[in-house]
Amino acid sequence: MAYFYPLPSSLPNLRFLHLKAMQDDKVSKVRVPHVLTVAGSDSGAGAGIQADLKACAARGVYCSTVITAVTAQNTVGVQGVNIVPEDFVAEQLRSILSDMPPNVVKTGMLPSTGIVKTLCQSLKEFPVQALVVDPVMVSTSGHTLAGPSILDSFREELLPMADIVTPNLKETSALLGGVPLETISDMRSAAKAIHDIGPRNVLVKGGDLPASLDAVDVFYDGNDFYEFRSSRIMTPNTHGTGCTLATTVAAELAKGSQMLSAVKVAKRYVEAALSYSKNIVIGGGRQGPMDHLLKLKSNVQRRPFDPCDLFLYAVTDSRMNKKWGRSIVDAVKAAIEGGASTIQLREKEVETSDFLEAAKACLKICRVHGVPLLINDRIDVALASDADGVHIGQSDMPAHFARALLGPEKIIGVSCKTPEQAQQAWIDGADYIGSGGVYPTNTKENNKTIGLDGLKTVCLSSKLPVVAIGGIGMSNAQAVMELGVPNLKGLLLCLLCLIGNVY
C-alpha cells in the first residue's frame, strides 16, 4: 500500500525549480560547430559524403548529411550513379535545417538542375553562416559526375550565394565555357572571372596544372590574389582530395576562422593526409583513397600491447649518452642488440626538434625489430613521432588525459610508489605501471626509494602488469625477480646495463 502526504506549504514551487534546473542545464551546454554536407555517396568511401564525414571528424566538427546521389565506385572508377529524387532531397534539407541548423553548408555533387534549385530555395528559407561550394562535375580521376546542363544553374543561382567556390582545373574551365588553363596566370584570370559571377571568394585548385613543378592553388577574394604552394606528393592515393579540401574549409569556418585562415589550414591538412597516406594500399585500381584520420598506416604496423614486452625495459638518458659520446639512435640500436624488449626515450636535455627527429629515427629501428618505443613525459613528441606510447610520472599529466589525447591503441605507463597510485593508474586507463625506485639511482637524484618490500606491496595491490624501476642492474636484478609476484613482468634498466658489452 502506498501512502501519500501533502507537500508542506513551506517547500518552494517544484515546477519553478524544474524550470530553473532546465535553464541552468542550457547555460552549461556547449554549442558544437556544425557542417551540413549536401553531396553524393561514394561506395568506396574515398570521396563524397564519406570523405566529408571523415574530414569533419578529423577537424573536430559535427557533420550532418543530405545525400543527392548514390554511386557505385571503387579505386578503378565509377560504375554507376543513381540520382536521389528532388522531393526527397528537399525533405532531407528541411529535416536538418529546421531542427539542427548548421553553421556552414558545403556542397559537393549536385547532379541535376532541380536539386540545385531545391538547395538554393532551402538556403533562402534557412540562411546559414557560410556556403562552401565544391562544384563537383569531374572527379580527380576524370569521371564525369554532373552534366553540362546544370552549369547555368550553378552560374545563375548557386555561385552568387556562395562564400567560397573551390573548382579544380577541369571544373574551372567548364564554368567558364571551356577556357584552357595551362599556367598560373591563366588560373588567376579564371579566379577573377568566376568571382565576377558572384561568389565572395574563389579557390582554383591547380594540382593538375602541367606547367608547374609544385602543387599551386590560387585564392582570390575580390581584391587580392594569394598563391598556396606545396611540393607534389607522389602517390596514387588522391581520390577525394577536392571534397576533403572544401569540407575542411567549411569545418574551419564553422569553428569561427576567417576565410583566408580556413583555406590555409585546409591546404596544410590535405597535404599532411596525402603525405601520411602515400604508401597505403586499399583496392587494386590506379587511384586510392586518403587516410583522413592519419591512423591506417600506424595501425598496420603497430601490434597490441603485450605485458611480456616489459621483460627487459631499457631507458635512455641524456647525461649518460653525453658521457659515453653516443647518439640516442646509436644507444637504441645497441640496446636492442643487447636484448631490450621495450625502449623508453627519456631525454631531458635535448631540444624538442632534435628529440622529435631522434624519436622518428628510433621508431623505425624499433618497428623493424618488433620492439615498442615509448616516450617519457613528452606526449607532444609521442604524438608527432607516432611512437607506441608514453610513460608518465605522478607530477605529469594524469593518465586519463593522456589517454584522451593518444587514443585507445597507444601504450600508457605510469610511475607508482604506493598501492593508491597503482589503483588510480588502473582507473585512469593505464596499460602498466612502473614501480620504484627500488634502489637509489644516479639518473634521478633525491628519488625516494621503496625497496623490495615496497615493490612487493605495490605489485600485490596492482591490477596492472608491473615493471620494477630504479637502480636495477645486473648485480641486483635476480633479487627483484625472485619476489615471486605474478604481475611483476620485467625490469627497467638503464641502457648502459644492456649495451655495456657492445661499446
Side chain identity at residue 249, one-letter code? V
- Angle among Cα 492, 497, 502 to the nearest 5 degrees reads 135
> Is beta strand 432-436 parallel, antiparallel or unpaired with respect to 411-416?
parallel
SS3 category, 495:
helix
**What are residue 348's phi and psi, to 5 degrees?**
-100, -10
Cα separation, 173 vs 421, whole angstroms: 65
Cα separation, 63 vs 69, whole angstroms: 18
- The single residue of 63, 243, 362, 366 carrying the catalytic annotation is 243
Cα separation, 462 vs 101, whole angstroms: 49
Reference 115, options 83, 155, 144; nearest CA is: 83
DSSP string covering 259-281, please?
HHHHHHHHHHHHHHHHHHTTT--
205 catalytically annotated: yes
Cα separation, 466 vs 310, whole angstroms: 8
Stretch (H or E) spanning 469: strand 466-469
The phi-psi region of residue 391 (left if phi > 0; otherwise alpha if psi is between -120 and 50; otherwise beta) is: beta
- The single residue of 242, 413, 470, 490 carrying the catalytic annotation is 242
Cα separation, 317 vs 403, whole angstroms: 25
- Grid coordinates representing 265 are 589550414
- The single residue of 206, 240, 389, 454 carrying the catalytic annotation is 240
37 catalytically annotated: no
26 catalytically annotated: no
418 catalytically annotated: no
Cα separation, 220 vs 204, whole angstroms: 9
Q: Is the peptide bond before 240 cis (omega within 30 degrees of 0)?
A: no
Cα separation, 489 vs 478, whole angstroms: 13
CA pseudo-torsion sign 293, 296, 298, 299:
positive
Give the alpha-carbon dihedral of 433, 438, 440, 441, to 10 degrees. -40
- The single residue of 117, 205, 267, 456 carrying the catalytic annotation is 205
**Environment class of residue 32 by beta-carbon count within 10 Å: exposed (0-12), middle (13-18) or buried (19+)?**
exposed
Reference 144, options 78, 210, 76, 204; nearest CA is: 78
Reference 376, options 363, 357, 392; nearest CA is: 392
242 catalytically annotated: yes
- The single residue of 71, 107, 241, 443 carrying the catalytic annotation is 241
Beta carbons within 10 angstroms of residue 471's beta carbon: 20
Cα separation, 73 vs 48, whole angstroms: 11
Cα separation, 257 vs 255, whole angstroms: 6
- The single residue of 238, 247, 248, 441 carrying the catalytic annotation is 238
DSSP-assigned beta bridge partners for residue 202: 165, 220
407 catalytically annotated: no
Q: Which residues are catalytic?
A: 205, 238, 240-243
